[in-house]
Amino acid sequence: MVKKTRVLIVDDSASVRQTLTAVLEADPAIEVIGAASDPYMAAKKIQEDLPDVITLDVEMPRMDGITFLRKIMSQHPIPVVMCSSLTEAGSETLLQALEAGAVDIILKPRIGAADHLAESALRICEVVKSAAHARVTGVKAARSAAASGPQAKLTADAVLPPPSGRAMARTTEMVVCVGASTGGTEALREMLEKLPANSPGMVIVQHMPEKFTAAFARRLNTLCEVEIKEAEDGDPVLRGHVLIAPGDKHMLLERQGARYYVSVRNGPLVSRHRPSVDVLFRSAARSAGSNAMGVIMTGMGDDGARGMLEMHQAGAFTVAQDEASSVVFGMPKEAIAHGGVDKTVPLDHIAREILSEDRRR
């Protein structure tokens, strides 16, 4: 019998604790072992029964979530998923949590339309199970998460048709397409900080809730030489600029003559995500072909694996982050298994590969 992912919920709202418990326990691969209303109660429960994953609210009485997170990371590292309301102000705080060692972010379940609650529940369960696999300060979680029961998982076909197979003539301009998930926020920061201001244009899908991608882009823009922003529909892809897909929207690469731009649109979850790396990569295979470069980084699941194979088949140069430097090796591993990866490198070599490929062209 495969062990379930054991979760401790920490939130001062009784209704949130109750709803999160119901959402998580509806997944047969997850067991909620307890719930606490503040960090002091949580610390006591952790001493009694060590969870695989903690979901942690940011604003709580007696001690805020960021302070408690830092204590966990310094004393007994456990994968922590931050649980937040959908606010602009909160998104800035959540970025601090990711820098302090949290592995991912979930939004508190929205009680409303059934389809919204279903999608919210799906992401919450996927993130929690992914977190159980995460390397936390170099140490893997003790137990691994089991795969959940069969669920319909749409491919990029739900958003756009497959590439035609016709090879596209290579031009002088290269477009870099990047996909990342769990652990990706800090990995992307490390990679982007190494790029000079005249780097090739880049488009990125990082699995993240809406609102947080805008704050993430603003944060990166203060740290990096390249210009970074959350993508808007019709934004051009320019040298020295990076566009990050907005949370809860798919982003596609389009071409008009010699000009590349992005299309931001609604659509169903693809590979259980929106934005989806598979959607971006497929669009790059269709619109850029051998003019593109694909990079897949740390993350759980297989989003991007099929799309990277399509990019590879269209003539793009493709790179995957290696296992040793990945917080979770799932997405790169699946892309390699699908046969779409030309080269596997450590995180600190990815920027070098991008610049080397740009010079080669």
Helix (H) or strand (E) holding 1: none
Catalytic positions, written as ranges: 181, 207, 303
Cα separation, 231 vs 174, whole angstroms:
18
By CB atoms closer than 10 A (0-12, 13-18, 19+), residue 93 is middle
Question: CB of 127 within 8 A of CB of 148?
Answer: no
**Rounded Cα distance, 33 and 9, in Å:** 8
Q: What is the largest CA-CA distance in the chain?
A: 63
CB count in 10 Å sphere of residue 172: 7
Question: Which pair of structure tokens corresponds to residue 147?
Answer: 């795969």
- Are the C-beta atoms of 216 and 90 separated by less than 8 Å? no
**44 SS3 class:** helix
Nearest to 322 by CA among 185, 187, 127: 187
